Amino acid sequence: MPISRPRRSPSTSAVVSRPAEHRTRVLVVGAGLGGLTAALALHARGIEVQVFEQAPALGEVGAGLTVSRGAQRVLAELGVLGEIRRRASVVRSNAFLHYRTGALLDGAVDPTDGSADALDDEPRNLQVHRADLHAVLAVALRDRAPGALHLSHRLVDLVSGADGVTAVFADGRTTRGDLLVGADGLRSVVRGRLFGVQQPRFTGQVAFRCLVPGELASPYVARTGRAAVWIGPGRVLNRYALRRGATVNCVAIARTDSWTGEGWTTPATPEELVALYDGWHPDVTGLLAVAPREQLAKWALYDRPPLPRWRDGRVSLLGDAAHPMLPFLGLGSAMAIEDGLVLAQALAASPDEAGLESYESARRPRTEEVLLASRHEGTLVQGRDPDLLDLSAAPSRNASFYDFDPAAQATGVPAASRDSASSAGST
């Protein structure tokens, strides 16, 4: 079947009213953390949602990521926070360390490994393996909305008109909905269809990711505790305990112009990583040297300026598709999760283009601020001699980035009442 040619949607003012009995059908493209959160939150509000994911299976990919207090509130609303807490590590403090001497520059050392963490405190941040968080969300969606998640559906086109939007997939299949949300990540096809394909700027930095089994890592983390950020000129190593201490997650970010590939799964070697950190403290080079080869991956960091708008007619964006950001504050996933809840609240109030508009009005300023702050944090921690560094005004110290209440933006219901109601029902 022929693929339809892309067409621009009607303007914002062309809101089409629906018959009272019409149940809004929302198409979500991408079953990442943002797409699954949005789907669960929409389904909980009685809105029909269908999720289309290009991958043929949802598997064990990625490594650690941060779940801020704001994102935890969303997960509590969805009734899945308890399940995630059982797999997560709590961040009680971060130690910022000098790359060569190991001296404590800022923060505090937490000497425990996470294995004995209580499950009922309310930390500013959790750290969790992306695959664990993703699996909990996917299982919840399959249980609550059987048949709503469609794998092996790669969107290649969309056609939006006065009475609906059609998604076109790579194998020629099509489906129709009232609204479409592109939650299709960093290289979003939906964003390209709405606003044209924009070339991102390579920042000159490459991130390396590895998971080191706790027993191999322990000689190199014993002195500096469960979470540490090592800072040096042109390099950072952020490492923290995952899966209640069973694994140490390392993200090493280095300035280099030698490689510019994008993606989450390009293999890297321990040798290239150790060479980049030559001259650093033995706790750093020792840890990187024991990283299992098969666990090492790298990706180049690209920067995209904030989009001036996310929506065109019946189609909008969410998560990395709308606001990809550098990883220095660890808030990219949290922003996608927050987006999902606010989208659902906005569409519950107004299940049409006006709802998409109020979602964007609530979320664009917040995500733009965090995007710019992430960029600034990277410049700060990598750009100067750590002996001269003053972290007291660093964005990572700004509690409002982490301890945010996304639901209050749309509902005005205070976090405390929602938290107590929903944590009781957490699975």
Ligand X SMILES: Cc1cc2nc3c(=O)[nH]c(=O)nc-3n(C[C@H](O)[C@H](O)[C@H](O)COP(=O)(O)OP(=O)(O)OC[C@H]3O[C@@H](n4cnc5c(N)ncnc54)[C@H](O)[C@@H]3O)c2cc1C
Report the candidate in 66, 62, 34, 37 with the shortest Cα–Cα distance to residue 377.
66
Among residues 67 and 105, whose Cβ is nearest to ligand X? 67
- Closest by CA to 122, choosing from 80, 173, 73, is 73
**To the nearest whole angstrom, how small is the minimum distance from the Cβ of residue 184 to ligand X?**
4
Which x/- pattern over 26-45 shows residues binding ligand X (rule: CB under 6 A)?
---xxxxxxx----------
Q: Tokens 């941040």, residue?
A: 125
DSSP state of 349: H
Report residue 173 CA to chain centroid gap. 29
- For the chain, give percent helix, strand, coil, nearest 5: 35, 25, 40
Structure-block tokens of residue 97: 């360390």
Q: Is residue 189 involved in binding ligand X (CB under 6 A)? A: yes
41 φ/ψ angles, rounded to the nearest 5 degrees: -70, -35
The smaller minimum CB distance to ligand X, of residues 207 and 391, is found at: 207
Considering only residues 28, 53, 99, 113, which one is a binding residue for ligand X as defined by CB under 6 A?
53
N-term to C-term CA, the chain: 44
Contact 65, 130 (CB under 8 A): yes
Kind of pairing between the strands at 48-52 and 25-29: parallel
Distance of CA 45 to the CA centre of its chain: 23
Nearer to ligand X, 250 or 284 (CB): 250
Residue 277 annotated among the catalytic residues of the structure: no
Binder among 25, 73, 98, 130 for ligand X (CB under 6 A): 130
Which member of 99, 220, 240, 277 is catalytic?
Answer: 240
If one asks whether residue 195 binds ligand X (CB under 6 A), the answer comes out as no
Q: How far is the CB of 71 from ligand X (least distance, A)?
A: 10
- Does 155 interact with ligand X (rule: CB under 6 A)? yes
Of the candidate residues 178, 283, 320, 357, the single one contacting ligand X (CB under 6 A): 320
* Cβ contact 148:50 at 8 Å: yes
- Using CB under 6 A as the criterion, what x/- string covers residues 279-318 for binding ligand X? ----------------------------------------
Binding status of residue 70 toward ligand X by CB under 6 A: no
Site size for ligand X (CB under 6 A): 32
Span interacting with ligand X, options 11-19, 47-55, 70-78, 412-420, rule CB under 6 A: 47-55
Closer CB to ligand X, residue 61 or residue 108?
61
Q: Are 325 and 374 in contact (CB under 8 A)?
A: yes
253 and 207 in contact (C-beta within 8 Å)? yes
Q: Which one of the spans 147-155, 266-274, 285-293, 305-313 is the region binding ligand X (CB under 6 A)?
A: 147-155
Phi-psi region of 245 (alpha: psi -120 to 50; beta: other; left: phi over 0): left
For ligand X, the closer CB: 202 or 264: 264
Which two structure tokens, joined as six digits, stand for 63?
Answer: 């490594």
Which residues are catalytically annotated? 240
Binding site for ligand X (CB under 6 A): 29-35, 52-55, 61-63, 65, 130, 153-155, 183-185, 189, 209, 264, 319-321, 327, 332-333, 336
